[in-house]
Amino acid sequence: MSTATKPNHIGRKISRIRELKDMKQEALAQALGTNQQAVSIMENSETIDEEKLVEVAKALGVTVEAIKNFSEEGVFNYFNTFNDTTNSGAFNFGTNHCTFHPLDKLVEVYDENKKLYERLVQAEKDKNEYLEKLLKEK
């Protein structure tokens, strides 16, 4: 029987949560103080002792219950409940509220990139002025 069809395969649940958080096995291994091979073995294990599960949950930033109760269907249901009707235009899903509007974050990132670009352009101008000054002195 494949691991994908076993509903209580804890290792597979850990793997999916890790993937959904865009975390590589190496990063999880580092957070757990182990190596990538150990994480791979753990993710292929149907059961994991409770103490290790607590460590993994902490490293992933979720609760032990979230790992134990994880389901692909639950993730899709969670994200399908998004609506844009409350919380001053921010997303509302269940009792959890997004505290920012994604466009605000996009504008913030744009502004930071613009400032960085302007500093880089100014540094290049300063460098060119310095080089021109050196050439004139020769």
How many Å apart are CA 40 and CA 43, to the nearest integer? 5
| pLDDT at residue number 103 | 77
Residues in the chain predicted with pLDDT less than 50, given as ranges, are 1-4, 83-95
| pLDDT at residue number 75 | 66
Identity of the amino acid at 127: K
Q: How many CA atoms lie within 13 A of 94 on its CB side?
A: 7
pTM: 0.53
